[in-house]
Amino acid sequence: MTDATAKPLVTMTGIDKSFPGVHALDNCRFDLRAGEVHALVGENGAGKSTLMKVLAGIYRKDAGVITIDGHEVEIANPRAAQDLGISMIHQELNLMNHLTVAQNIFIGREPRRRFSTFLLDDATLNRNAAQLLEMMHLKIDPRTKVADLTVAKQQMVEIAKALSYNARVLIMDEPTAALTEAEIAELFAIIRRLRSQGVGIVYISHRLEELKQISDRITVMRDGRYIDTVPTPDATIEQIIRMMVGRTIYESAPELPTEESREIVLEVRNLNRAGVLKDISFTLKRGEILGFAGLMGAGRTEVARAIFGADPIDSGEILVHGQPVRIKTPRDAVRHGIGYLSEDRKRYGLALKMDVETNVVLAALQKFVNAVGWVDRRRTTATANHHVATLAIKTPSLQQQVKNLSGGTQQKVVVGKWLTANTDILIFDEPTRGIDVGAKSEIYKLLNDLARQGKAIIMISSELPEILRMSHRIIVMCEGRITGELSSTEASQEAIMTLATQRGGIVADNGDTGGSPGGQSDSPRLVSMESQSA
Amino acid sequence: AAPAAPAAPAAPAAPAAPAAATAAPAQEAAKKPYIPVISKGFQHQFWQAVKAGAEQAAIDFNVDITFEGPESEAMVDKQLEMVQTALDKKPDALCIAALDSKALIPLLERAQAEGIPVIGFDSGVDSDIPVTTAATDNIAAAATAADKMAELIGGEGEVAVIVHDQTSRTGIDRRDGFVNRIAEAYPNITIVDIQYGGGDHLRSTDLAKAIIQAHPNLKGFFGANEGSIIGVLNAVTELDMGGKLVIIGYDAGKQQMDAIRSGLQAGAITQNPVGIGYKCVESAVRALAGEQLDPITDTGFFWYDASNIDDPQIQALLYE
Amino acid sequence: MSLETTSSIPFSRTIFRSDATQKILAFAGLIVLFVVFSLASPNFLTFNNIVGILLATAVNGLLALGVTYIIITGGIDLSVGTVMTLSAVMTGVAIVMWGLPIPIGVLVGIGTGALAGLVNGLTISKMKVPPFIATLGVMMMAKGLALVISGARPIYFNDAPAFREIAMGSLVGMIVPDYKIPNAVLVLFGAAIIAHLILTKTVMGRYNLAIGSNEEATRLSGVNVDRWKTAIYALGGAFSGIGGVIMAARLNSAQPALGAGYELDAIAAVVIGGTSLSGGEGTILGTIIGAFIISVLTNGLRILSVPQEWQMVITGAIVILAVYADIIRRRQK
Amino acid sequence: MSLETTSSIPFSRTIFRSDATQKILAFAGLIVLFVVFSLASPNFLTFNNIVGILLATAVNGLLALGVTYIIITGGIDLSVGTVMTLSAVMTGVAIVMWGLPIPIGVLVGIGTGALAGLVNGLTISKMKVPPFIATLGVMMMAKGLALVISGARPIYFNDAPAFREIAMGSLVGMIVPDYKIPNAVLVLFGAAIIAHLILTKTVMGRYNLAIGSNEEATRLSGVNVDRWKTAIYALGGAFSGIGGVIMAARLNSAQPALGAGYELDAIAAVVIGGTSLSGGEGTILGTIIGAFIISVLTNGLRILSVPQEWQMVITGAIVILAVYADIIRRRQK
Ligand SMILES: Nc1ncnc2c1ncn2[C@@H]1O[C@H](COP(=O)(O)OP(=O)(O)OP(=O)(O)O)[C@@H](O)[C@H]1O
Ligand SMILES: Nc1ncnc2c1ncn2[C@@H]1O[C@H](COP(=O)(O)OP(=O)(O)OP(=O)(O)O)[C@@H](O)[C@H]1O
Ligand SMILES: [Mg+2]
Ligand SMILES: [Mg+2]
């Protein structure tokens, strides 16, 4: 509201929306001007996505008024929103995996053959998609199946799709959660270009530093209510956080152990998996947080999955407490005290239709069997209650289905699961993806606590500040190889990036690329593209 | 009660080795004639009895047979495919119990064109291609059942019927034979319900129970094949109503025979399934030998009850 | 790290979607049918007819119990009907042909079902064949084997008269002479209680739900999903085996040609009972209600002497409506 | 195709997992069966028998075509068999009872199928009833209605002799007299080509795949998913309608009791053909191959005079193995 002269493109006032049992939006408001980037922030479950889904015609509002260009509108379905020039990039990927990139981008608006309403013109479709991708500097063949792309590429396809509508209002719900620095830079360039063309952009993110770079105004929501809107230059991050959580968050400095432990808990020797991993060797010590850094698709998740027995390995040795172990299934891993917190909690972390309690005890269920052979409900409830309390899991009850919880809360449920399993080696893969600042600092604190209790922790993260802040040691990967190891003292963003782009790994070994395996010059994106087809 | 229909009790037990059987194989000692027998089904006991007769004849006349039939009597198309495949096997003759008397004709024409004699059994085909048909007159047989029913319930009251199939020839003929006879000859008898149990013992049981529940004044129950009547018997047993209903069945089978012996069931119509199977293969052998055959071989039906069930003549017609 | 104090969101509101109300409503369809048929025919609400309905539910109910587990994993089982038949035949073989004692024969029957379920389970979990196809194949094989083993002839239990008592005797009647409820009904209810306890109280039940909800996440939680899935299919098969024993006892014979098509009734019972075909949720109580809805409907239409072709039409419509009512109810909750 | 220049990345590699190789391999199962049966019996590889196989595939193939679309949406259609029957009956009613011209009668038959499909589609998309239950209900209703309308009697087309020619005449035979391939086979191949074009070249096919791949994402993209899904079920129903017409023409009669259980053969053909039951992928060519695998298997076992109960056992095993082979093949690609 600082620039009173700019005419609002969209206004939303008095918006109310309830889901069974949850009052998600309570008299909420929001406005958007042409040619601005308006950031929307709030804790997990604050109602950001819900508010924007109302605007995009996905949810019907219970009450309230939406105007566009000053005219009141009813947005009954996504089609109506599109017709009004509103397009949305969803927090979750919303792609048809079996279809190609081009088919995904233009779904619902396929070019037709001449004189025909039903026959598709796929040549034009691919050409249009190619143009669009090129404009975004994306090197993706529009005929690639989306299933064959990495998550980051899929996210970029989503963005391309949203842009293809040439919308006047573009809503981005956490577009950067799965992107690398370079892709984020590319995205920001696109956003700036659109802004200069007069597009109004809603930008939802938990990465508050980004807001400073890209947004013009920031609106804060809490508990389904509107809190305030401030011009970005006038706001400090601390201020915004305070508005978000309604209190000051004390961000502790990394609490590194004074004395480094010598006890090696996990040792990995020469782990290989054709086309994905090459000669992975490292050690993990008791009480240590070992950071795994690298660009998207560097193979960090693959290392974790290989150690955890989720994917087969071709060769290599794993030693737990100095003993060689055979880990062929996740069950073996859990038995040897390894827990894995996946980067994609919905797909790999949670039984979404089940309640909080079951999810929390799932990995350790056998421990809760009583003499009769039944699951001891009293103990599972007690354990779940304990974790709900210590992790501050925001759930109405233990019987709440996990699918009804917000993303950050879900993540905490997964953490609770591995705490219940009480494994002494924990692999956290992107533990703070999609998590609000409050929850994030809690998770950091948790990681430190766990390390201090003697757990050995691997933390995979694409956020360099997070890696730098949390890790005792940092392993950097590129193209399926470990390209270097840094101690906390020698680590810096620059040092990590240098190692993370040290190419010449397994892709070159495959030998069939026409690309430039040795070149460091190209954008980091290339990495995932190349290994993706391997 | 005596045999209720004119019938030539073609006892299958001891066929005189016919001239045909000795004459034909003389030239081709190595290759036995091949005669596919395609029935209307194969899982039900009735068809298994037919199969037993056909296999006996195959031994007696030194021929090869195969016996197959679709899983349900509704599957007209599957039977067509079986006949077609059988013809592709270049058989010497073909025995067929047509599910649909018209649908088969084109294939029978092909058989005729290829010089393969066709023998019908169980029920006829609307065509003069079959050199003979060994069949039961189901309409007359069911009418006999109706007469017995009327006699035993005293000419008046409520009667229900369970039939195995609503659309198959045997199902229709037995239902209509029974129903029409009652309508014509016994005005004081009402048929209160006709339901179809697919020949499935369990379903027929629950079906019969519901009918009995719905009609407390029911006096008689007719089951038109083995599965149907066993359903009725189970229902009566489970409801503890033994002796309160006149039960008349069809075909044989151990449970039905036991019920007749014990008096739970009044009696039943039996065809001559073993004889039908035997007869059709025998006719095929005769046709191959160039014999002239009567166009219709009535294989007959009989009423049996506790009084005559153990007569050797009747026993020969029954299967367990 | 106690954050509770900071959260001001009124989550308590979610508590109103009470599960108890939910369960009472699930009975609604059944009760509506009961009332309608009772008003339409005086012969419906008689003791004998109610016993008839209970008895008619026994076999389908048992099959449906097993199918419930399998549908909860997100799978399907088309083989229940013919596996039931094969179990009945094997029971007959054991008792009549091999002359084994009845309890052993019963175990052979149940074991046959479990074995067939095991084949389903291994095909699905080890060979990764989709459940629809795996169980379709086993359905055909069981059908064929039942005929092969029995020689396509029924096996009668006349020489072991006690066998029939398993289904048709009446323990209840021995205690309360006026209420001769056949044992088959007790077996159904007993099996349902055990099935309920397995689903809600045991590790197996919990894993069953978890696998149906998210198989991969369950695997990544260190659960041996393949083994548990196999076990669940075997358990489902065991219920078909019990169904086979009860059917054989009721018919006092093992009928080898029965069983085709029974799977659809069993699956319908499960789905009408509110178990989601996409897996991850379901209750035994629901399945039992679903099985009774089907039996009551079939029985009621027969009692009313509705022509059979119309019975089919009406049943088809009501199956859809029953599930639709369940959907509406959930949406409102 | 103008992209090669802009991209420095070797996309060509994706071409090696060539769909062509894939498709040739899909034939492998079929060819193996052919070779085995040809070696085992001299009567197998005869012109007459091959025509017999083709003819036996016609109806199941047509049903399977329709089911392919529906499985691609991630749904299932249990009603195809009885809807086929209902369509045959309505064709009979139109031509024989109402005396309408044959082409109109054929349209009535196809229209009946489409209408039944529409009911499926609306029940699924508007009432949100799961496809299994919706089509199970319609299956029962169609079965009942076929009996009601026909009076449970076959309707014979003897007075319209040209009708039979639709299936059993031979256009090919008129041109090449030695090759009397029945028209039913041409209808199957013609329908398959149209089905293929619809799936790959039209908006409907695209949305079909999109819905099966991710229904919610398709909806969020502004596609009217409910309407398209309804249309797809109606299209599937139309193929059942064509199947019904061909069935009636082949039998020269509309048999009202046929059709129960036919849905399983059709679904098996689709899945053996590599269409995933979880939706999103599938091909018409695969379905046709799947349908032929079933027919060749059935025919070959009969030609070999394998006892019928063993035929069931073998068919069951081979259905599983065929799908397993497909799974292995995909895993290797
Ligand atoms: N479809 C739904 N059904 C029931 N509850 C829902 C649904 N969608 C959202 N909610 C609830 O509404 C509230 C707001 O959720 P929303 O997704 O809008 O939060 P958010 O601000 O986007 O959070 P996050 O940062 O975690 O994405 C949460 O309590 C959530 O659990
Ligand atoms: N299931 C799979 N099949 C084939 N290739 C895969 C599979 N999963 C991952 N890959 C490829 O392996 C490479 C390594 O991916 P991985 O997910 O391990 O990277 P990462 O460093 O963990 O990155 P991210 O930050 O996305 O988690 C990527 O190029 C990816 O495309
Ligand atoms: Mg959100
Ligand atoms: Mg990763």
Give the model confidence (pLDDT) of A283-320 as tens digits: 999 989 999 998 777 889 999 999 999 999 999 999 99
pLDDT band at B120 (very low <50, low <70, confident <90, very high): very high
* Residue whose pair of structure tokens reads 């039984």 in the numeric block: A351
* A478-516 residue pLDDT tens: 888 999 999 888 888 888 888 887 765 443 333 333 333
Comparing alpha-carbon positions, the chain A residue that sits nearest to D280 is: A98
pLDDT value, residue C97 = 94
- Tell which D residues from 30 to 69 touch C, by Cβ distance under 8 Å: none
* C63-109 residue pLDDT tens: 999 999 999 999 999 999 999 999 999 999 999 999 999 999 999 99
- Contact call for C280 and A395, based on CB within 8 A: no
C14: which chain A residues are within 8 Å (Cβ-Cβ)? Answer: 20-22, 396-397, 400
CA gyration radius, chain A: 24
pLDDT value, residue C333 = 57
B127: which chain D residues are within 8 Å (Cβ-Cβ)? Answer: none
**Chain C: nearest CA to A125, how far in angstroms?**
34
Question: Largest Cα–Cα distance of chain D, in whole Å?
Answer: 70
- Do A118 and D203 touch, CB atoms closer than 8 A? yes
Ligand 2 midpoint to CA A300 (Å): 8
pLDDT band at A1 (very low <50, low <70, confident <90, very high): very low
- Contact call for B213 and C52, based on CB within 8 A: yes
* B194-210 residue pLDDT tens: 999 888 888 899 999 99
Of A132-136, A526-530, B3-7, the poorest mean pLDDT is in A526-530
Q: Is A294 in the pocket of ligand 2 (CB under 6 A)?
A: yes
Residues C228-251 have a mean pLDDT of: 96
Of A147-156, B168-177, C79-88, the poorest mean pLDDT is in A147-156
CA A497/CA D320 separation, integer angstroms: 51
- Tell which C residues from 259 to 318 touch D, by Cβ distance under 8 Å: 260-261, 264, 267-268, 271-272, 276-278, 308-317
Of C45-49, C81-85, C93-97, D137-141, the poorest mean pLDDT is in C45-49
Ligand 2 midpoint to CA A275 (Å): 10
Locate A56 and state its tokens: 């995009």
- What is the DSSP code (8-state) at residue A252? P
Which has the closest alpha carbon to A69: A4, A7, A3, A13? A7
| Top-confidence residue, C272 or D105 | D105
* B242-285 residue pLDDT tens: 889 999 999 998 889 999 999 999 999 998 899 899 999 999 99
Reduce the secondary structure of chain C to three states and give it as a string: CCCHHHCCCCHHHHHHCCHHHHHHHHCHHHHHHHHHHHHHCCCCCCHHHHHHHHHHHHHHHHHHHHHHHHHHCCCCCCCHHHHHHHHHHHHHHHHHHCCCCHHHHHHHHHHHHHHHHHHHHHHHHCCCCCHHHHHHHHHHHHHHHHHHHHCCCCEECCCCCHHHHHHHCCHHHHHCCCCCCCHHHHHHHHHHHHHHHHHHHEHHHHHHHHHHHCHHHHHHCCCCHHHHHHHHHHHHHHHHHHHHHHHHHHHCEECCCCCCCHHHHHHHHHHHCCCCCCCCCCCHHHHHHHHHHHHHHHHHHHHCCCCHHHHHHHHHHHHHHHHHHHHHHHHHC
pLDDT value, residue A334 = 92
- Do D73 and D211 touch, CB atoms closer than 8 A? yes
Which has the closest alpha carbon to A358: A424, A284, A414, A302? A414
- What is the DSSP code (8-state) at residue A401? B
In a mutational test of the B interface, the residue from D308, D309, D310 whose CB has the highest number of chain B CBs within 10 Å is D308
* A376-387 residue pLDDT tens: 989 999 999 998
* C283-328 residue pLDDT tens: 999 999 999 999 999 999 988 989 889 999 999 999 999 889 888 8
Q: How far apart are the first and last CA of chain D?
A: 24
Comparing alpha-carbon positions, the chain D residue that sits nearest to C264 is: D136
Provide ipTM, 2 decimals. Answer: 0.84
pLDDT value, residue B243 = 86
Nearest atom of ligand 1 to the alpha carbon of A20: 4
Ligand nearest to the CA of A148: 2
pLDDT band at D314 (very low <50, low <70, confident <90, very high): very high
pLDDT value, residue C21 = 54
Report yes or no: D305 at the B interface, CB cutoff 8 Å. Answer: yes
pLDDT band at C22 (very low <50, low <70, confident <90, very high): low
Locate A258 and state its tokens: 């004074």
Comparing alpha-carbon positions, the chain C residue that sits nearest to B238 is: C168
Amino acid residing at C83:
V
pLDDT of C277 higher than 60: yes
**Chain A: nearest CA to C201, how far in angstroms?**
5
pLDDT band at B320 (very low <50, low <70, confident <90, very high): confident
pLDDT of C331 higher than 50: yes
Give residue limits of the domains in chain D.
57-260
In this complex, the residue of B216, B230, B238 whose CB is nearest that of residue C168 is B238
Residues C156-175 have a mean pLDDT of: 90
pLDDT value, residue A527 = 30
Count of CB atoms situated within 10 Å of the CB of A82:
20
**Chain B: nearest CA to C322, how far in angstroms?**
23
CA D219/CA A461 separation, integer angstroms: 33
CA C194/CA C202 separation, integer angstroms: 11
CA A238/CA A253 separation, integer angstroms: 16
B201: which chain C residues are within 8 Å (Cβ-Cβ)? Answer: 251, 253, 255, 258
Chains in contact with chain D (at least 3 beta-carbon pairs closer than 8 A): A, B, C
Structural domains of chain A in order of their starting residue, each with its CATH number: 10-245 (3.40.50.300), 264-337+424-526 (3.40.50.300), 353-422 (no CATH)
Locate C169 and state its tokens: 């005797």
The model's pTM is 0.86
Q: Is A45 in the pocket of ligand 1 (CB under 6 A)?
A: yes
Residue A477: strand pairing partners: A294, A482
pLDDT of A393 higher than 70: yes
- Tell which B residues from 19 to 48 touch D, by Cβ distance under 8 Å: 42
* B6-21 residue pLDDT tens: 344 444 444 444 444 4
Amino acid residing at B320:
E
**Chain C: nearest CA to B100, how far in angstroms?**
21
Query: pLDDT averaged over chain D?
Result: 89
- Do A103 and A160 touch, CB atoms closer than 8 A? no
In a mutational test of the C interface, the residue from A311, A357, A360, A374 whose CB has the highest number of chain C CBs within 10 Å is A374
Of A344-358, A437-451, C199-213, D15-29, the poorest mean pLDDT is in D15-29
Nearest atom of ligand 2 to the alpha carbon of A151: 26
* B32-83 residue pLDDT tens: 899 999 999 888 888 889 999 999 999 999 999 999 999 888 888 889 889 9
Query: pLDDT averaged over chain B?
Result: 86
Residues A339-354 have a mean pLDDT of: 86
Ligand 3 midpoint to CA A346 (Å): 14
**Chain D: nearest CA to C280, how far in angstroms?**
15
Residue A120: strand pairing partners: A112
- Contact call for B167 and D147, based on CB within 8 A: yes
* B213-231 residue pLDDT tens: 889 999 999 999 999 999 9
pLDDT of A448 higher than 50: yes
**CA dihedral in degrees (D71, D73, D76, D77; nearest 10)?**
-90
